[in-house]
Amino acid sequence: MSADAQVLEAFVGYLRTERQYSPHTLDNYRRDIGRLLRYAQANSLADWSAIAPRDLRAFIAETHRAGLAGKSIQRLLSAIRSFYRYLNREGLCQHNPALGISAPRSARRLPKTLDTDQAGQLMQIPVTDAVSARDCAMMELIYSSGLRLAELVSLDLGDIDFRDASLVVTGKGRKTRMLPVGSKALAALDVWLGHRGSLLRGEEPALFVSKRGSRISTRAVQQRLEHWGLHQATDGKVHPHRLRHSFASHLLESSGDLRAVQELLGHADIATTQIYTHLDFQHLADVYDRAHPRARKKND
């Protein structure tokens, strides 16, 4: 084993004994620093102290060109910074070339949505008992009002106003907002409330309850939506956030009112809401590619 490899193993031993890192994390650190070691050897860098910031930037650029994602490079740089702090502590190096170096930005992933037909198909579940009535009401309400999962499960009976077709929800930062509720969601809620008593085991203020009669958990909601997505043959996995994304995308597509969508979603920063403008543009671009005579491919 080379001297540099021995230093790497000593570092991993330090992480194991003094930092109490898990075996999985240790493997990640060994792999990341090992990658840098191989780069140094391939470029005739004598030892760890010979690696300068320009060498590290070249190493990061090479890994990025090789296909390593931005988040993985961020983790790689974090491991290198920790490694050089260890070298500094042990007197093996006097500098840390990773300081001030940032990873390339990752492309922001657009949220997957259901189109309006898929959303409609999902909601057409057969309501035959209390559980299916509850599930239908939950899905209708998320899609109608753009609720977060945590907001949905925290709802109490008193938060719904049928006369005013609205609800009061407590979002992030304990901020409350009033939201409209669509007619189909209100109808589904009315059916659910007719069944709700059959699941109760005592006093429970929660709007949505489990089979045990207590407030439904976030995990149970996720499982139920995934179940209905498979049952209704929906394209891709159905989860609460996907319904929320669909609500925002469809509303923006119809209204073009970004500020209103921001308020309904409870986003503190409109930049968070602006991702839906990209979704909307993507839809328009698809229509353009299919319809415009100068955009269609020659073999169409």
Catalytic residues: 148, 172, 241, 244, 267, 276
Q: Specify burial of residue 248 (Cβ count, 10 A radius: 0-12, 13-18, 19+).
A: buried
Q: Is the separation of the CB atoms in 106 and 70 below 8 Å?
A: yes
C-alpha torsion sign, points 91, 93, 94, 100: negative
Residues 6 or more apart whose CB falls under 8 angstroms from that of 64 comprise: 70, 73, 104
Burial class (CB in 10 A: 0-12, 13-18, 19+), 74: middle
| Residues near 267 by beta carbon (within 8 Å), at least 6 away in sequence | 273
What Cα–Cα distance (Å) separates residue 109 from each residue in 106, 243, 271?
9, 17, 15
Reduce the DSSP state of residue 272 to 3 states and report it: helix
Coil, strand or helix: which one is 24? Answer: helix
